Homo-oligomer: A and B are copies of this chain.
Amino acid sequence: MAPAKTKPSARTYTISLTNRKPRGSGHERLAEILVAAKELFLEQGVENVTTRKIAERVGISQTALFTYYSSKDKILARLIQDAFAELGRMVAGLGAEAADTRDWFRRCVAGYVRFGLKYPNEYRLAFMVMRPWQGAIGFPLFLELEKRVAEAMEEGVLRRDLGSPRLVAQTLWASMHGLTSLLIARPRPRFPWEDVEDLVRTQTEMLLTGLLAER
């Protein structure tokens, strides 16, 4: 009936004043968005940060955000990926720092908890919520732990009567995760935590006593 196919579109566009990127510099925006999102997530918590807030901090329209990341989840996923890459490097570096196997496990627990407190949002999204995507995040890390446990058992440093290396590794991981996730989910002063370093030390001591072979 009507001849007009497309809408008239009498919108006014104002782009000149924005900090538009030069051609081919899209990757800088990618990084800028990550930085802005990371800051906001830390300040306000992931669920209180909207795509509009992120866009505003970057200095672009909300729509432009979706040019770079197809969803809010994708931004989160990328942040998680980056954070766990750092955790992986930390754990890998543990081998050089540690004096012996006992020392390695000692440093592992402390390092793990500190990582979680440094990246609470990323940690939370990787291990504290059920999501369909990226179930494999952090899995390589667990495999590394399982390998270490197996080696330590062969060395005779860790007990063998507790179960298979996998079983023990899962248990150990669960305990490290427990302290980390509780400190993240219910930080002081909402819960009367003792000093974090004391908690880490006690946790480590308890776990090592429970795991080590010799007395």
Contacts and interface: CB of A to CB of B under 8 A. Distances in A.
A191 interface: yes
Contact of A182 (B177, B190, B201): B177
A208 interface: yes
Given A162-B206, A198-B167, A199-B167, A45 B130 contact: yes
Consensus secondary structure, chain A interface: helix
Nearest to A178: B178
Specify how many copies of this chain sit in the oligomer: 2
Contacts of A128: 128-129, 181, 185
Nearest to A210: B210
Interface stretch (A10-18, A54-62, A87-95, A168-176): A168-176
A8 interface: no
A191 B45 contact: no
A199 B170 contact: yes
Interface in A171-203: 171-179, 181-182, 184-187, 190-194, 198-199, 201-203
B129 A163 contact: no
A139 B182 contact: no
A194 B175 contact: no
A215 interface: yes
Interface in A91-141: 124, 127-130, 135, 139
A108 B88 CA distance: 34
A135 B113 CA distance: 22
A194 B170 contact: yes
Most buried by B among A162, A186, A192: A186
A196 to B, nearest CB: 11
Given A127-B186, A135-B191, 19 more contacts: A130-B185, A130-B186, A135-B186, A162-B202, A162-B205, A166-B192, A167-B199, A167-B202, A171-B179, A171-B206, A172-B206, A174-B199, A174-B203, A175-B175, A175-B178, A181-B181, A206-B211, A207-B210, A210-B211
